[in-house]
Amino acid sequence: MAQSLYLEKLADLKARHQELEMRLSQPETVQNQELFRRLMREHASMGEIMAAYGEYKLVCEGIDQAREMLEDVELREMAREELGELEPQKEALEQRIQILLLPKDPNDERDVILEIRAGAGGDEAALFGAELLRMYSHYAESRGWQLEELDSNITELGGVKELSLMIRGQGAYSRLKYESGVHRVQRVPETEAGGRIHTSTTTVAVMPEVDDVEVEINPGDLRIDTYRAGGAGGQHVNRTDSAVRITHLPSGIVVQCQNERSQIQNREQAMRMLRAKLWAVAEQARADATSQERKSQVGTGDRSERIRTYNYPQGRVSDHRIGLTLYKLQGFLQGDLDEMLDALTLSEQTARMEAEFKASNA
């Protein structure tokens, strides 16, 4: 991206950032909660690039001052030292800003609905699903995110047959969106007397939470059933028809929630899940229709794609999309995901920069 082009974009973003700050301070904006949340989300998404821009301007000012000092014989050596420090900083900031200027996924700052579903492998797949639940829970806690279980189907052995989890926190979707797909585990099950390595799979789906105005749902398209909640929850839950199952008739999508104590709360949670699922279906159709864009992505949203293998005997975790293998399986399962997620993010950013460069030179 030419320097003049991204400096022009930065100036436009700075003006928009100032406009947002002004609008967010106006009483009429504060009173309109939907507008306020939307503008706050946009303002927050610009924070990183505005900070980088401010740092870049300071470095450029320092370089200009150092070059002026080169004219003074007594200050020339000091100026050269400063230039030796500042010019690499300027180059690094330019590269960082170019990445930050790439078109952002508008959902990156949203909260996440994460689903775990046991695949091939029976009880072993469900037990691995429980491992993945702990992994994502540890990672979310390390970043200060809030977790809320929406619905679960736990096996007698403590495995996860199906589970839906709300994860709330800044940038949750931007970090977890690469986790959608099939996770394969290779290990010796505790119940395997012969010590043979089994291969099982668990599917993960990561969807941004979307507002009701973004996904229009016709009430006439819904069949809503209530039933008595089972499992954990106490006697109060088991004595009342508090659980809710919603079927979206046109798509056949079914969601259910029984973890809240009231039917109203369970219905609200189920509708959140339904909106997220309908958004994911529409997004997948859009991505599939744009084949070139789909190929350039690291693999976000396609739950049929095998994305990663967890090999217990070798202590490794391998991501098949970027060819990265880490020999730190136990740490990874304890929530140490950043090295992998950073590599996935960089891979997508690199592909997008190459696409932008080709487009600008076409």
46 versus 179: the higher-pLDDT residue is 179
Residue that the structure tokens 């775990």 belong to:
116
Mean pLDDT score, 179-193: 85
Sheet containing 112-118: order of strands: 146-154, 160-168, 112-118, 198-208, 181-187, 306-311, 316-319, 324-326
Query: Measured over all CA atoms, what is the biggest interatomic distance in the chain, rounded to whole angstroms?
Result: 88
Would you state the pLDDT for residue 234?
38
250 versus 215: the higher-pLDDT residue is 250
18 versus 106: the higher-pLDDT residue is 18
Mean pLDDT score, 25-39: 90
Q: What whole-number percentage of the chain has pLDDT above 90?
A: 47
Least confident of 73-87, 114-128, 144-158, 285-299: 285-299
Specify whether the CB–CB gap between 257 and 152 falls below 8 A.
no
Specify whether the CB–CB gap between 355 and 1 falls below 8 A.
no
Nearest alpha carbon to residue 185 among 115, 130, 112, 113: 130
Q: What is the pLDDT of residues 317-344, one digit of tens each?
A: 999 999 999 999 999 999 999 999 989 9
Q: What is the pLDDT of residues 218-259, one digit of tens each?
A: 889 899 988 877 654 333 444 467 888 999 999 999 988 887
Would you state the pLDDT for residue 265?
84
Average pLDDT across the chain, whole number: 85
Would you state the pLDDT for residue 64?
94
DSSP of 105-136, one letter per residue? PTTTTS-EEEEEEE-TTTHHHHHHHHHHHHHH
Using only C-alpha atoms, the chain has a radius of gyration, in whole angstroms, of 25
Would you state the pLDDT for residue 139?
97
Mean pLDDT score, 46-64: 91
Burial class of residue 186 (count of CB atoms within 10 Å of its CB; 0-12, 13-18, 19+): middle
Would you state the pLDDT for residue 337?
96
Q: Distances in Å between the alpha carbon of 134 and those of 92, 151, 330?
A: 37, 16, 12
Q: What whole-number percentage of the chain has pLDDT above 70?
A: 86
Would you state the pLDDT for residue 87?
93
Burial class of residue 291 (count of CB atoms within 10 Å of its CB; 0-12, 13-18, 19+): exposed
CATH number listed for the domain at residues 219-286: 3.30.160.20
Specify whether the CB–CB gap between 209 and 112 falls below 8 A.
yes
Model confidence at 190: pLDDT above 90: no
Assign 4 a pLDDT band (cuts: 50, 70, 90): low
Assign 210 a pLDDT band (cuts: 50, 70, 90): confident
Buried b (16+ CB within 10 A) or exposed e, 65-96: ebeebeeeeeeeeebeebbeebeebbeebbee
Would you state the pLDDT for residue 346?
84
10 Å Cβ neighbour count for 27?
A: 7
How far is residue 236's CA from residue 252's CA, in Å, rounded to a whole number? 31
Would you state the pLDDT for residue 34?
86
Would you state the pLDDT for residue 1?
47
Structure tokens belonging to residue 264: 């109203």
How far is residue 353's CA from residue 93's CA, in Å, rounded to a whole number? 16
Would you state the pLDDT for residue 294?
44
Sign, CA dihedral 222-227-229-230, equals negative
Mean pLDDT score, 130-153: 94
Assign 213 a pLDDT band (cuts: 50, 70, 90): low
Domain segments of the chain as ranges? 3-100, 112-210+298-360, 219-286
Q: What is the pLDDT of residues 267-324, one digit of tens each?
A: 888 888 898 888 888 877 776 665 544 444 454 444 567 899 999 999 999 999 999 9
Model confidence at 131: pLDDT above 90: yes
Assign 193 a pLDDT band (cuts: 50, 70, 90): low
Would you state the pLDDT for residue 3?
59
User: Can you give 243-307 as a three-state secondary structure string?
Assistant: EEEEEECCCCEEEEECCCCCHHHHHHHHHHHHHHHHHHHHHHHHHHHCHHHHHHCCCCCCCCCEE
Specify whether the CB–CB gap between 229 and 242 falls below 8 A.
yes
Please, what CATH class does the domain formed by 112-210+298-360 belong to? alpha beta
How far is residue 160's CA from residue 203's CA, in Å, rounded to a whole number? 11
User: Can you give the pTM of this predicted structure?
Assistant: 0.69
Sign, CA dihedral 188-194-199-204, equals negative
